[in-house]
Chains A and B, each alone.
Chain A
Amino acid sequence: MTKRKTFEKFAFYFGNTLIALIFVSPLIWMISSSLKPESEIFKGLNSLSTFFPKGASLSNYIEVFQRINMWKFIGNSLFYVLVIIVLDLLVNSICGYALAKFEFRGKNLLLTLVISLMVFPAEAIMLPMYREMADLGWINSWASLIVPFVAKCFSIYMFRQFFLGIPDELLEAASIDGCGPVRTFFRVVMPISGTVYATIFILDFVAHWNDFMWPLLVVTGEEKRTIQLAIQTFFGSKPINYGPIMASLTISAIPMLIMFIFLQKYYVEGIASTGIKG
């Protein structure tokens, strides 16, 4: 029995490590390249040594911070992304909850609409949306970066799917205790749905943190420049130097990783203990 357990443990760590390496190798290569001098980055790409910098140096990072106001751009991105997410979590979760648990006229229509609207590719509606921003006088404002992205069909649908799994008995109990539907949602449903909120937080954060095309169109100048736009300045004129690019990409990955690790605890705790079935 213990032998089997040990073997299982070994298989678990060995297998996972092997697979994890395949997934994480680009990230490692990026970090390792950011510590190399320019001429080393593309040398010997097909050997393992490309993952290990010889004589690491921070000079690429120093260059990044000397050339651009990195802190400000990180701050800008953090600000608008977090505002989007907070609003997204609120607006879409209540909508998803209504679709999951309330009966009202037009419910089916709305659900169909939400599902259909998921498919509209940003590339196809970007220009009309830009014109709309220009007409609103929102070009170069935070509003143009934030407001259009608050309501999101993906989020609404995902919230709905998960709220469907909350047993009606739980809500009933709350209403017997005298909670109205609004209070029930905020007092009972929200606190036990950490996993969904955390999931959407993570997925949203990554999506908007990496936004490039839209901020490019609506933001001009440094005041509201986002981190992705800032990174692209290193691709500007030829010759392209990859050292600072790798350094700035690494810097840009850090907030995502921190956010990810921070939200992990919602996954570990889970909601199994609260008695909700999937």
Chain B
Amino acid sequence: MRKRVIAALLTAALTAGVLTGCGEPKKRVNEDGESVITIWSPSDEPAIEEWWVEKIEAFNQAHEGTIELRREAIVRADSYAYEDKVNAAITSNDLPDILYVDGPNVSIYAANEVTLPLDDFFSEEEWSDFFDSSKQQNTYNGHIYAVGATESSVALYYNKDLLDAAGIDVPDSKEDAWTWSEYYDAAKKLTRDGVVGTNIIMDKGEGLSYVLGQFWISNGTDFVNQEGSSAEGYLNSQEGVEAAEFLNSLIRDGYANIDPIQKEFHNGKAATMLGGSWEVATLEKDYPDLNWGVTYFPVADENGILTSPTGDWAASVTKNVQDMDAVKEVMRFLFSEENVTTYAQAISKPPTRVSSYDVLTEYNEYPRSVFKEQLMETGHPRPRTPSYSVLTAEFAEAMLNIFTGVDPKEALDAAAAAMDKDYNKYYAKD
């Protein structure tokens, strides 16, 4: 009993210590005097976990006596969990040296000076080997703040048997990509016998901005202005409202489900699907009986701009870094031609370096070639704004409201106003 009382008193004393402040940040050096560089990245598939172990070992061997590289796999869950963890580390200045972040969040961290510019990490010639789509996503205010090894894209998957039965042909070049009307008509014809015409990623979260945002771009507008400071007149522009109305027509008329059950397309319950590049591997591996194909992302009816989603996780360097030269060394290693290639191969995603495609020849063949072509020629990143987290949450909410009967203009006005309010509160004065 008495012991416990003492323990409790100790706790109280410790707590009192809290109130009086804390010490200097710890020196990031190990016992052997090597600079310790820590990486946080999402925990991943076994192939990628192995890749990390192998590469870190190689790096540490080559830099014995100078640098020790460590990686901590952070549970990602939905992407919010990972961000909550980063948010917490920001409050206590506990960030690792290198932090992996999801593409659209690069601007948020950059604008808040949580991460640092990396322009001089690679020479101009080296940078030119990276995809524009990836560099665009990772650029804020004219500087590059993150480097990614892989990309993603979304295209229209279709069930060949169902399309044949309905007598529908699909376009085989991106210039002939279905217009919204063609897409709608196809979905209409294909909806029957308990099968819906299409599936438009309704995850009520980030998937909506990632995929549906392209409908704004295709119709000649975007979510925000060039500077990323305002959504007013973009998200809720006439073109934007048209995009929302089109998407709503698919749901309202019953050609797509507002709440699709997982793997609706895979199980033959949806005839088409706006699906990510990552689905190719799943369909090949787990659904060998499904007779499927992929075609290009649909485009707006009149003078529609060819477009497709892009963006993936990328590595950035945080403000808590102590040994910048060592970090540069690590980053140049991680994103070398060879390592981008092997990483992309391990994770089966399209690489960001043009030269990697000389090795990964499967991307020259259908169906993967569709994604590569989109990435190189029609890809548009998600909006770059420090208020992205507000924007994307508001957009998802607005779409859900529109799909349940709210006037599109009204819903988008509210979302645009919320985003602008956040920008004006925190960033307009910077």
Chain B residues within an 8 Å CB radius of A212: 77, 81
Given A38-B286, A136-B18, A139-B94, CB of A237 within 8 Å of CB of B44? yes
Task: Check A220 against B76 for contact (C-beta < 8 Å).
Answer: no
Task: Check B92 against A236 for contact (C-beta < 8 Å).
Answer: no
For residues 25 through 62 of chain B, which have their beta carbon under 8 Å from a beta carbon of chain A?
A: 40, 42-46, 48
**Residue in B42, B44, B74, B287 whose beta carbon sits within 8 Å of that of A220 in the complex:** B74
Given A42-B262, A239-B278, A239-B282, CB of A229 within 8 Å of CB of B75? yes
What is the 8 Å Cβ interface bit string for chain B, positions 88-102, against chain A (1 contact, 0 not)? 100110100000000
B415 to nearest A CB, angstroms? 24
Task: Check B279 against A136 for contact (C-beta < 8 Å).
Answer: no
Task: Check A130 against B92 for contact (C-beta < 8 Å).
Answer: yes
**Residue in B11, B40, B45, B266 whose beta carbon sits within 8 Å of that of A39 in the complex:** B266
Within the assembled complex, what's the spacing in Å between the Cα atoms of A34 and B60?
40
Task: Check A42 against B1 for contact (C-beta < 8 Å).
Answer: no
A276 to nearest B CB, angstroms? 25
Chain B residues within an 8 Å CB radius of A217: 84-85, 88
Q: Does A238 contact B (CB under 8 A)?
A: yes
Within the assembled complex, what's the spacing in Å between the Cα atoms of A136 and B283?
49
Nearest to B22 among chain A residues (CB) is: A135
Secondary structure dominating the interface of A: helix
Range for the number of chain A residues in contact with chain B: 35 or more
A236 to nearest B CB, angstroms? 5
Chain B residues within an 8 Å CB radius of A90: 4
Within the assembled complex, what's the spacing in Å between the Cα atoms of A261 and B154?
48
Within the assembled complex, what's the spacing in Å between the Cα atoms of A204 and B203?
32
Task: Check A239 against B279 for contact (C-beta < 8 Å).
Answer: yes
Q: Does B261 contact A (CB under 8 A)?
A: yes
B312 to nearest A CB, angstroms? 10
Within the assembled complex, what's the spacing in Å between the Cα atoms of A127 and B87?
9
Number of interface residues of B (CB under 8 A): 45
Given A130-B91, A217-B85, CB of A235 within 8 Å of CB of B18? no
Given A42-B267, A136-B14, A147-B11, CB of A236 within 8 Å of CB of B91? no
**Residue in A139, A236, A241, A242 whose beta carbon sits within 8 Å of that of B44 in the complex:** A236
What is the 8 Å Cβ interface bit string for chain A, positions 28-48, against chain B (1 contact, 0 not)? 000000000111011101000
Q: Does B325 contact A (CB under 8 A)?
A: no
Within the assembled complex, what's the spacing in Å between the Cα atoms of A91 and B279?
52
Task: Check B85 against A39 for contact (C-beta < 8 Å).
Answer: no
For residues 24 through 70 of chain A, which have their beta carbon under 8 Å from a beta carbon of chain B?
A: 37-39, 41-43, 45, 66-67
Task: Check B91 against A233 for contact (C-beta < 8 Å).
Answer: no
A102 to nearest B CB, angstroms? 15
Within the assembled complex, what's the spacing in Å between the Cα atoms of A145 and B240?
47
Given A42-B267, A134-B94, A236-B42, CB of A182 within 8 Å of CB of B72? no
Q: Does B365 contact A (CB under 8 A)?
A: no
What is the 8 Å Cβ interface bit string for chain B, positions 268-297, against chain A (1 contact, 0 not)? 000000001011011000110000000000
Q: Does A108 contact B (CB under 8 A)?
A: no
Chain A residues within an 8 Å CB radius of B45: 236-237
Q: Does A131 contact B (CB under 8 A)?
A: yes
Within the assembled complex, what's the spacing in Å between the Cα atoms of A266 and B276?
53
Task: Check A235 against B94 for contact (C-beta < 8 Å).
Answer: no
Within the assembled complex, what's the spacing in Å between the Cα atoms of A39 and B285?
10
Within the assembled complex, what's the spacing in Å between the Cα atoms of A155 and B78?
32
Q: Does A213 contact B (CB under 8 A)?
A: yes
For residues 94 through 142 of chain A, which have their beta carbon under 8 Å from a beta carbon of chain B?
A: 127, 130-132, 134-137, 139
Q: What are the 4 closest A-B residue pairs judged by CB atoms, nearest first?
A: A134-B92, A232-B77, A239-B282, A233-B43
Sample of 30 A–B contacts (CB below 8 Å): A39-B263, A39-B266, A42-B266, A42-B267, A43-B267, A45-B261, A91-B4, A127-B91, A130-B92, A131-B91, A132-B15, A132-B18, A134-B91, A135-B18, A136-B17, A139-B94, A213-B81, A216-B75, A216-B84, A216-B85, A221-B72, A233-B43, A233-B76, A236-B45, A236-B75, A237-B76, A237-B347, A238-B276, A238-B278, A239-B278
* 13 new A-B contacts at CB < 8 Å, known A42-B264, A131-B92, A232-B75: A41-B263, A45-B261, A67-B46, A127-B87, A130-B91, A135-B18, A136-B15, A212-B81, A213-B81, A217-B84, A232-B77, A237-B44, A239-B281
